[in-house]
Structure 1
Amino acid sequence: MRPETRIDRCFAALKREGRPAFVTFVTAGDPDYETSKAILLGLPEAGADVIEIGMPFSDPMADGPAVQASSLRALKAGQTMKRTLQLVREFREKDNLTPIILMGYYNPIYVYPNDAFLDEARDSGVDGMIVVDVPPEADEELCLPAIERGLSFIRLATPTTDDARLPAVLANTSGFVYYVSITGITGAAAPVVSDVRAQVARIKRSTPLPVVVGFGVRTPEQARTLADCADGVVVGSALVETIRTTLGPDGRAGPDTISAVHRIVQNLAAGLRSATARV
């Protein structure tokens, strides 16, 4: 029996409250380490229930321009995988409740290498991982070793994941299922709610895990429309784009960078809560 995790406890508590999780995504080290840490530390108070932290990578093929730019800003500022894990450690000194998910690509993990990365991720306080370019056929490579260490391995299901493919996607998934609401890259388009509702219902018929919807959710209105069909809603591109628009001419954090991110999180969280309050 898998031990209960922060992710499990979070979704169970939210289910009792009758509302979906608000999942926020930001890139580690964007636009610099200290600003990134301040943004992270303020996310739970602003309304985030779960935090996804992007692991900066130079070729983030599933990400749209906003998230790609955030990775490049972080790498330019000196962010490394070791510093990303250190960021989680420092977050855990202040917050031992909020689930932390690392999201990204396999290359930086592979060169770390795998076992050292998984051990350090667990010890730093990471709860789960989303590694978008490791398919179920390679579960022995990373997924199963992560699970052995108590880390949830969260899979993506997409509009093209048909009934024949879905069992393989769900086989070793834990924590939650991340449903990609659009075909394409992050932030590229708004989800079609009727399509998302049908796909989430289909996935739920095959798994007891929570289903969280992401990619393309940018506004409180969009988050509200998804609140009645999903167990959680992810917003990422809107947050990293807020960081970009508040930078100074030199590319450094401006006086409003941290507060602007927290304000948009507050607005989105309020939108989700108001939607469920009317149900």
Structure 2
Amino acid sequence: MTYLVSADLPTASAGARFRALIERDAILEIPGAHNGLAALQARDAGFEALYLSGAAVSASMGLPDLGILTVDEMAFYARQLARASMLPVLVDGDTGYGEALNVMHMVRAFEDAGAGAVQMEDQLLPKKCGHLNDKHLASPQDMAAKVNAARRARRDLVIIARTDAAASEGIDGAVARAKLYLEAGADAIFPEALTSVEMFREVSQRLPGVKLLANMTEFGRTPALTAQEFAELGYRMVIWPVSSLRVAAKAQEELYREIRRAGTPEALIPRMQTRAELYETIRYFDYEALDRSIVTTILP
């Protein structure tokens, strides 16, 4: 199967497919994928949707996650994930890259790139990882205006509004903001950096019937919970945003140190993906067979 063959392509839009996944009773598990190869590996492992993290893209470019990325840079990676995996991708839209008109441009750019959903947060620039301190929030009204702009611009894209208010305004502030964002047109709410099971449960209880997303990032403020535990707390989606990049980055660091130390990577060969495994992952021989079939059907 290759995305080059029209018969292999999904018939429904990415937004419609993502929406169908979150309408089911089961929680949607959404791992982060930081490039096309990771997207293929996640799909082959059985996942049905992917998350594209601004933090992961920033780090892969050697940059901090401070709102430096542009819409076009994120769209490039979103297109890569969508084309490689043909899965609906939830894209991190940071603060929307500006005000209402910028948000509308972002929505169209991400939809054109094949995204199924976008997540947008209520921080001010320079924004920070949600699990760091000293975050500065936009006013609820300004964020609601951005959500409304996204709703007006989208064709099928699912809009997820993230609020970072729990750290500074408590659960009351986070819930009040969430309700305003839902009124403005958000399809789901992402309450960021909750620090206890009780906080997750309270948000769910105070937003009955709302589709909620949980962030299970490592080295953050949220306790380590499984997808099933989040489901039991009333959450419809869970992301692991930077896990793939962290594992890959650690392995690369060890590789470079080993080559520098020993002058050869031979000791790490057992930990490498073989050429055969790589070709299987990227469907090398499927593309080769497709190329041969096209050549043989051309008449002189």
TM range (shorter): 0.5 to 0.7
- TM-score by length of structure 1 reads 0.61
**Quick one: percent identity of the two aligned structures?**
12
Matches of 2:52 and 2:161, distance apart in 1:
16
- Aligned residue number for residue 153 of structure 1: 159
- CA offset at residue 74 of structure 1? 1.9
Check conservation: 1:153, 1:172, Cα contact below 8 A: no
Q: How does 1:182-221 map to 2 (within 5 A)?
A: 182=194, 191-204=195-208, 208-216=209-217
1:1-20 maps to which residues of 2 (within 5 A)?
5-12=16-23, 14-15=24-25, 19-20=26-27
- The reply on whether 1:102 has 2:91 as its aligned counterpart is yes
Structure 2 gap segments, 5+ residues each: 1-14, 64-68, 124-137, 258-267, 275-300
SS, match of residue 106 in structure 1: coil
> 1:129-154, CA deviations, whole angstroms, 9 ceiling, x for partnerless residues?
22222654225764333222223321
1:218-267 Cα deviation digits (max 9, x unpaired): 89x7214323122222222433321221114659xx976889xxxxxxxx
CA RMSD of superposed structures (Å): 3.8
**Aligned residue type for 2:190:** Y
Q: CA deviation at 1:95?
A: 4.1
Shift of 1:164: 4.1
Deviation digits for residues 185-236 of structure 1 (CA, Å, limit 9, x no counterpart): xxxxxx53233223212222xxx332121144689x7214323122222222
Secondary structure of the corresponding residue to residue 42 of structure 2: helix
Instruction: Give yes or no for contact 1:181–1:215 (8 Å, CA) kept in 2.
Output: no
Residue identity in the other structure for 2:225:
Q
Aligned residues of 1:217 and 1:234 also touching (Cα < 8 A):
no
CA distance in 2 between partners of 1:176 and 1:164 (Å) = 14
Q: CA deviation at 1:103?
A: 0.9
- Check whether the contact 2:144–2:181 (CA below 8 A) recurs between aligned residues: no
2:96 pairs with 1:92: no
Q: Is the 8 A contact 1:154 1:173 kept in 2?
A: no
2:188 & 2:82 partners in 1: Cα distance? Answer: 21
| 1:156-203 deviation line (CA, Å, top 9, x unaligned) | 245424154442132234332213252xxxxxxxx5323322321222
**1:123 aligns to what?**
112
Q: Which residue of 2 aligns with 1:222?
A: 225
The number of residue pairs the alignment matches comes to 216
Of structures 1 and 2, the one with the larger relative CO (CA 8 A, separation 6+) is 1
Tell me which residue corresponds to 2:44. 45
CA–CA distance in 1 between the matches of 2:102 and 2:177? 29
Note closer, same or farther for the CA distance 1:95–1:237 as it changes in structure 2 (3 Å cut).
Answer: closer
1:99 Cα deviation (Å)? Answer: 2.5
Q: Which has the larger radius of gyration?
A: 2
Deviations 1:98-140 (A, max 9, x none): 3212114237567x95554332222111122222226542257
Q: For the structure 1 residues 47 and 74, does the alpha-carbon distance in structure 2 shift closer, same or farther, using more than 3 Å as the test?
A: farther
Conserved 8 A contact 2:151-2:185:
no
TM-score by length of 2: 0.58
Instruction: Return the offset for 1:94.
Output: 4.4
CA 1:135 to 1:48, structure 2 compared with 1: closer, same or farther past 3 Å?
Answer: farther
Alignment-mate amino acid for residue 155 of structure 1: A
Partner of 1:241, secondary structure, is helix
| Structure 2: distance between partners of 1:80 and 1:257 | 33
Contact 2:78–2:91, Cα closer than 8 Å, also in 1: no
Of stretches 138-147 and 46-55 in structure 1, the one that deviates more from structure 2 is: 138-147
